[in-house]
């Protein structure tokens, strides 16, 4: 079975390098323009995060296809870091502790990264159909969670810019990356 993982297009907050998880922010004009210039493989089914930026991306890329919203594909809740960027957090002791942990500590008043990853993997397994070409239009963290679990490697090995993705093959228990989109 072929899998297409696509990170949503850019939002204004992405361009400002802000931590945006639970905030339901729309695509920005620049993000929409980039998506409209790209070509993505066709698919039989679209699975999408419930957040606006992913739904809008799916509507742009696959306007004739019906999408299935998967609540647990939403991005991580960054808690007190939500909406802030590195410059704003640079002198925050809790942020420095989180950075020093390699991103493994829980976000203050937010989601624990391991729980987030487990949530994404569980949703992936629960929504896998038996066959076809499936497009996942989700967040960078969602893609990184799924691929680090099933393709091997480190979570951060699978970071993508907005609007980019992977074409992959699912063998039933493992993902093989075929192409970067």
Q: Domain containing 53 — which CATH number?
A: 3.40.50.1240
Q: What percent of the chain has pLDDT over 90?
A: 94
Q: Is residue 91 part of a domain?
A: no
Q: Extract long-range pairs of 34-39: CB within 8 Å, 24+ residues apart.
A: 34/9, 34/10, 34/162, 34/163, 35/9, 35/60, 35/61, 35/163, 36/60, 38/163, 38/181
What total of structural domains would you count in the chain?
1
Q: Is residue 83 part of a domain?
A: no
pTM reported for the whole predicted model:
0.94
Q: Is residue 105 part of a domain?
A: no
Q: Is residue 85 part of a domain?
A: no
What's the whole-number mean pLDDT along residues 24-53?
A: 97
Measured between alpha carbons, how far is 155 from 150 in angstroms, rounded to an integer? 11
pLDDT tens profile 52-98: 999 999 999 999 999 999 999 999 999 999 999 999 999 999 999 99
pLDDT tens profile 124-168: 999 997 788 999 999 999 999 999 999 999 999 999 999 999 999
Q: By residue range, what is the domain housing residue 49? A: 2-77+112-180
């Amino acid at each position: 079975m072929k899998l297409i993982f696509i990170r949503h297009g850019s939002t204004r907050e992405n361009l400002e390098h802000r931590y945006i998880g639970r905030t339901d922010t729309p695509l920005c004009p620049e993000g929409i323009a980039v998506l409209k210039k790209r070509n993505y493989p066709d698919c039989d089914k679209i699975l999408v995060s419930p957040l606006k930026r992913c739904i809008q991306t799916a509507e742009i890329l696959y306007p004739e296809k019906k999408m299935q919203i998967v609540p647990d594909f939403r991005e991580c809740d960054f808690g007190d870091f939500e909406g802030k960027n590195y410059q704003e957090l640079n002198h925050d002791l809790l942020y420095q502790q989180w950075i020093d942990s390699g991103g493994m500590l829980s976000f203050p008043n937010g989601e624990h990264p391991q729980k987030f990853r487990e949530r994404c993997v569980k949703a992936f397994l629960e929504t896998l159909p038996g066959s076809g070409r499936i497009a996942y239009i989700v967040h960078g963290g969602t893609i990184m969670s799924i691929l680090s679990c099933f393709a091997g490697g480190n979570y951060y090995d699978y970071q993508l810019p907005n609007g980019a993705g992977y074409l992959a093959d699912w063998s039933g228990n493992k993902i093989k990356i075929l192409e970067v989109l």
